Amino acid sequence: MSMFNPVDRLRRSARITIALYRISQAMNYLLRERGKVRGLSPAQIQTLLFLKYARPGVRTIGGLADRLVVSYATASDVADALERKRLLQRNPLPTDQRVVMLALTEQGEHESAMLEDVLDEIENAVAALPDTDQEALVRATQSIIRYLQVRGYVKVYEMCWGCQFFRRNAHPDDPRGPHHCAYVDAPLPEQNTYLECPDFTPIEPERT
Ligand code: SF4
């Protein structure tokens, strides 16, 4: 079966797959066009947004390679290019000089702020749908993403609030943070709970 063959698009699942493909083409187009304006490649745009929103511990070349789903060498090349543009800097970890962390420079922070709205047109199209359609889309797309995630085609980064390992207000008086991550068994300051984490594991929907 081939969803690219128009005859096969009589199947509903093929029509939906083609629709998702077209949406991904539109996203790539928007990233490329913004990149032309800002002088950045789509990978560089994704890197700047990754460094802005990812959990601090994963802001490394390895973490970037995971996020972009590319090799370590390719991620390193992307970081080099951003470093040359003075948007990114490499900082050895104070507690272990062998570990190099990536961070946005002030200019990089500014540049990433200029990229925030790159996919707004897609959200505008979604926001125009009736509530019931949006709710159905949330359920359906989450289920598709879970299927793809289990097979290793996509890595999902999400923030703590919907994660199985998140223990809200586990130790409210702890100066290191009131919440707790049971995955790494460490306290979580409030602001870190709004960052994206590759270890995010969704809360299982309740079975009835
Ligand atoms: S594993 Fe879950 S709770 Fe822990 S930092 Fe990641 S998202 Fe937050």
- Residue written as tokens 């970890």? 93
Mean pLDDT of the chain: 92
Identity at 183, one-letter amino acid code: Y
Contacts of 167 (CB under 8 A, 6+ apart): 179, 180, 181, 182
Q: Which atom of ligand 1 is nearest to the CA of 180?
A: 3
Q: How far is the CA of 197 from the centre of ligand 1 (A)?
A: 6
For the Cβ of 166 lying below 6 angstroms from any atom of ligand 1, the answer is yes
Tell me the per-residue pLDDT of 151-167, one tens digit each, with 9 for 90 and over.
Answer: 988 888 899 998 999 99
Rounded Cα gap, residues 121 and 70, in angstroms: 27
Measured CA to CA, the distance from residue 126 to residue 121 in angstroms comes to 9
In this predicted structure, the answer to whether residue 8 has a pLDDT above a threshold of 90 is: no
pLDDT band at 208 (very low <50, low <70, confident <90, very high): very low
Q: What is the DSSP letter of 62?
A: H
Atom of ligand 1 nearest to the CA of 159: 7
| E strand or H helix at 16 | helix 12-38
| Residue 124: both structure tokens together | 């505008």
Q: What is the pTM for the complete model shown?
A: 0.82
Under a CB-based contact definition with an 8 Å cutoff, are residues 56 and 91 in contact? no
- Token representation of residue 37: 């304006």
